[in-house]
Amino acid sequence: MDFKEISKLEKPMFILLLGVLLSHLGSYMVTPILPIVLRVEGGLTLVQIGSVLAAIAISFQIGSILGGFLADRIGRRFIIGLGAFIAAGGLIGFGLFTSYLLLLLTAVTLGIGNGLNAPSTKAAIAALASKENQTTAFSLRGIAANVGIVIAGLTVFFFITGTAKIAFWIAGIIYIVLGVKSWLLLPKNCGDAPCPELPVGAYKAVLKNKPFLVFGGVGILIWALYAQLSLALPLRAAEILPDPKNVSLIWTINSIIVIFSQGFVTTWIIKRLHPLTAMGVGMLFIGFGVGSLYWSSAFIHLVFSGAIFIIGEMLIMPTIDSTVSQLSRADLIGIFFALANVVSGLGEAFGKFVGGNLLALGTKAAYLPWTVYSITGILLFFEVVFLLKRWKPLELALQAAANKPNKPNHAPRVSSGPVQHPSHPFGSWIPEVFLRKRRNT
């Protein structure tokens, strides 16, 4: 990605990227400290905290289903803005309420709002970017997201004093700005082209895509483990740090690592592995990253665990998005991304609920949750690499995607044969050697 590629992007794309930055700025002002606020200021039990976080994830998938369908049917601008306003109400609610039932209702509101916003934004980026610029657009989306996370962590650390609930009010205001900006500046309806007339049964076409469904089923387990860091790390910080609010800096450090390392990881690792191998290795890092929290007794230990985790994230995130885009249909891309968000929501909800109960059991057997996290990472590695990777229908679907004439340039994908610069070598083709350039053939 260079300046020439960036200059080819149109103004609406930069408005969308600004929206990505704002949404992550608002979200990550509260995500790292939410379990702490619920525990310390709300007085909730570990099981109740897990239930509140699971409610956000479950309602997120409901919003994703509605958002993906409505964005393709009536226009993405309206749905992106509407989701931002609803999410703002949920964020402000967390700053107002302490009752468990009201917090559950607030969690549902926040989840639906983000569910409407997120897949609509991804679909808009995919639709507005030309095929050859999709990789650049999604790379810039990742950079914008992490810049927002960095600013969020620094804001909480340097400017939020006293009660941490003020962060929820500020985050709510940021989402209101996001909604106003989206409605005023994004193209109407679906841009230059009319919105497609999708039938009510459009989801049935997606649900007939067996490779996508199986990939999504495994994805639920992947997201369940991935979700543990945002629950376990803040609660661990509340036990060992004099000011648990400083845990937000760990997300800032992780985002800085992503900003400066994602290109290296993509070029020298992801593009030199089969995509499912990259996912499997990523799960090992995520499992060990969360599991290593067991030995943490100082801030630097939390940073170290977060760094291990973020290596895994850099491996699985681009691979999941790339695989979803390869398995999707161009006319239903919004719905495919919506269902991909449903998968992440289901996994996160399941993970948060189970994680809350595991951490509660950990008060009696301290090693139990951290051991389960590590073992789960190992099991997912074997499931992805030795089972899913060898499943013939998914193998054929990825090969077919690799042969599409309109695939994005430089996108992570499966190669079906030895070309000059293959990425994700497939089958019997010899992969590139790490840290060395392949000679031209």
Largest CA distance in the chain: 66
User: For residue 32, which amino acid is it?
Assistant: P
Question: Rounded to whole angstroms, how far apart are CA atoms 407 and 437?
Answer: 23
Buried b (16+ CB within 10 A) or exposed e, 107-124: bbbbbbbbbbbbbbbbbb
Task: Decide if 287 contacts 377 (C-beta within 8 A).
Answer: yes
Q: Could you tell me the residue ranges of all domains in the chain?
A: 10-402
DSSP 409: T
**C-alpha pair distances (Å), 224 with each of 176, 249, 350, 380:** 30, 23, 6, 11
Predicted pLDDT at 414: 40
| Helix pair 299-327, 392-402: axis angle to 10 deg | 80
Residue 435's pLDDT is 36
Instruction: Look up residue 439 and give its two tokens.
Output: 């000679």
Q: How far apart are CA 138 and CA 143, in angstroms?
A: 9
pLDDT at residue 432, as a whole number = 32
In angstroms, rounded to a whole number, what is the distance separating the alpha carbons of residues 170 and 415?
A: 46
Q: Over the stretch 274-332, which tens digit does the pLDDT of each residue have? A: 888 999 999 999 999 999 999 999 999 999 999 999 999 989 987 887 788 778 776 67
Q: Contact, 373 vs 225, CB < 8 A? A: yes
Report the C-alpha gap between 70 and 62 in whole angstroms: 12
Distance, CA of 373 to CA of 287 (rounded, Å): 5
> Hey, what are 76's tokens?
């993405």
Determine phi and psi for 274, rounding to 5 degrees.
Answer: -60, 140
The alpha carbon torsion through 71, 74, 77, 83 (nearest 10 deg) reads -60
Contacts of 88 (CB under 8 A, 6+ apart): 113, 172, 173, 175, 176, 179
Q: Which CATH class is domain 10-402?
A: mainly alpha
Alpha carbon separation from 410 to 92, 142, 181, 322 (Å, rounded): 41, 16, 32, 11
C-alpha pair distances (Å), 94 with each of 49, 168, 179, 258, 302? 13, 6, 19, 29, 26
Helix (H) or strand (E) holding 305: helix 299-327
Q: Which residues of 176-211 are buried (b: 16+ CB within 10 A; e: fewer)?
A: bbbbebbbeebbeebbeeebeebeeebbeebeebeb
Q: In whole angstroms, what is the distance from residue 421 CA to residue 424 CA?
A: 10
**421 Rama sector, left if φ>0, alpha if ψ -120 to 50, beta otherwise:** beta
pLDDT of residue 196: 56
**Ordered mean pLDDT values, 10 residues apiece, the chain (441 residues):** 61 88 94 90 91 91 78 80 95 92 95 87 73 64 87 88 82 96 81 56 77 90 94 91 87 89 83 86 96 93 95 88 76 72 84 92 84 95 89 83 56 35 30 37 37
pLDDT tens-digit readout, 74-131: 778 889 999 999 999 999 999 999 899 999 999 999 999 998 988 788 778 777 765 5
**Closest of 333, 287, 327 to residue 308, by C-alpha:** 287
Looking at residue 431, its pLDDT comes to 34
Q: Which amino acid is at 361?
A: L
